A and B are shown apart, each in its own frame.
Chain A
């Protein structure tokens, strides 16, 4: 039985499409104006936990074309997370917010600072800066060698670089709470219940911060201090720590 299961699993793996194939297929569908098919292919990619900047950018475009602005903005936000320097993705986000008359997300300075580079670049810089500095300061002593001036100079530089990454890491941590309202008129409820009183409605694509979680509900706060409980399926974080 176990052998049969493993065999079936192997077969499924063999028949599963490679991410690049799906990406190309979606691109062709977009070229043929078959946006529904393109969106389907790219959604499948994402549901299989295959993320790339290009796939998410194109997913945003496809979702926009099939009039799912919330999902489009989520995809572009994710694409911008992977490659914050891509001007096309930034332009699309600006375009979508302009069209949907959504406010620009109000980010603190640490959060804005953290958008300069992708999260993993910040982490790599922080790790290298910290451990490089520490190593240069400690290794000569531990290895019984004399600590040279250049050791100290480079250590100072490394630690300075590390210090510069700290606000970005803080901002990055805060950005982990950001999410997007997926459907239009997403209700923010007074209580995390099915029949909770609707306090306000968020338009599709608006960004909000998750402050609390309870069961199937998230307590989110949007621009203008609009806060309330929202169902998980109506709101999705750009990325989650879990």
Chain B
């Protein structure tokens, strides 16, 4: 029996390859992301261990908030972010067992070209930015201690005021020269500097692509913090002193607002926060891998069904010769197992390629990874084989059961294995699945936390299965409608295609189902994205009264000196300027973000609608959104406790409430309250209102001029600001769509597979058509039109399901944030339908060619 299975398997190499392909792509995607995450994890962990390998103890300001961890995006280490006084260095150095202790200074610093001298008659321009804008721009103090991860590579270390060194990666990439005059934008504004050397970071050229600038320690303190301040203190132990011993000795001399950590703890903290970050990145990517596998399962199931339909006589003969049902079933299962194993093996190899590709993709976005081989964990291999073979086996289960039902008598008759499934059962099970899926999705969106993703994902899978189950019931009428223009436009050929697409509803449906999944997800995100984008336009537009918004973009969105706001206030024709600062705090025990603003002119720049109380931002007053007030069951006039990272608990009284406002957020406090609790007093956004509409151009050019010393900042009017925010949504949508393309490609392979098998099945029929005069070209058109109809049918189903998903997603998001409304992107979705038609044309190329090459005589003469 096994030999028969193998024989029939190898006799159909093409079909084997095509059905294995679905598995190869799916497994490849999943393993690729695993390999990539493992690789990233190891290289970064190596890097971090390398950086802190000589650190025995680190001293930093303690945070009053639990679970702040290391914030990778700003490059700052954990703790409250409050600086450590340099005066602490002396007592620490005096502790016995301390071999060396150095202050670390780290902050935001953007490397730019020297600004060009102003040209008469031309508006002044900002200097071009040299730092990698896809990574946080970091400035540090250079010290030659063994504790520093910086190693001079060429030139000299920065020694005189105004000297800087940059990382080797940026130096090479931007083709800088030693001795070159450059500039650096920091929170203190723009400073002229001279490039004197380059360095390596640990053993790599730079820190994952981020541009690093090293200053002399006094320059670093002046530009990045304040003179006499340090970010933290790193201590190296004398020989024979353990990290823990040294930690307890230092802890005894350090004031209680500072904490001491051992080198091991620091490395672990970094690794943990990295694993957390990479974990969600990996989950995100893997989700697309599993979608691909799910799509692949439909294709495999369909392929096996068709192969069995074509082998009915062979199977019946086996049964007539005495093979039991079990043996027949097992032969199909063994076949699936082999396909699964072969597919998984190839998928594993393909996954390696995917990982390399994704790594290159990250590189293209400026995230340069430290050198190091690709990590192939045993777990990856295991996952590949498990998901590959299990998916194939599950997909082949139905066909295997049907194969076993072939009666021996079928060997004597020319019967076509027609599915004998009960219509009522199909309707019932399909509707049940669909209803369960919809319920799960709606439930999942209501659930908070990590379980939600699983519930929604399971619900989506159930909806897909439900629609796929019900689809054979509606495919005939729907394709009648879809095919109508073709049937009238292409005459008999069109009509033949339409009939072919309608004749086997199950087959058409499961082929279309694969495409449905891909298109449903793409259109769901399109509906969601469009709704969110429209909401952003409406809400950002509605929340602002200011004419101009001054802020940085991307990783340059770093706080800047309040001097700028002062400068802007002095400009003529400016009626109001408001500074916005953000802080993470806990309020009554839950995490929250507070916005600090200038009380004066607040309602001139923000469209803040009063709901209750007074807009009085004096002293320890606070305004909250009416939604928060209702959710927390607070009352106006009540006092709540805000816990700040640096200073701890402070009481704030709720003075009033405002209606939902995108920029104001949930909690608004006066700027003075922020300043009292945060050491680094920098602005994140400055809002400017012009005195009259006529003054707008003049005010804008004046702001532009004021921004010349701030190359990392931009001025935007309301429209531009809203458009930029909407563009970010487009970028995310673009990425998601690109990743979903994978599933759509697999679905297209499914159409190719089905059509090829159909052409083989219909050899005699096509031969007859050719005999009675169908031209080769007409034959190709016939197959092509059939493919288009199947693909468009899949597209129609996909759009229907996707519209629901998109609505549910938007609805859940709206409920969550009281933000947004439902908008339906008709044009975009129509384009998706056209795209699915094009996919049909592409999928038909090979099958159509095969069909047109059928030997007429052989096709009809074989009786």
Instruction: Decide whether A and B assemble into one complex.
Output: no
| Contact surface of A with B, Cβ cutoff 8 Å | none
| Contact surface of B with A, Cβ cutoff 8 Å | none
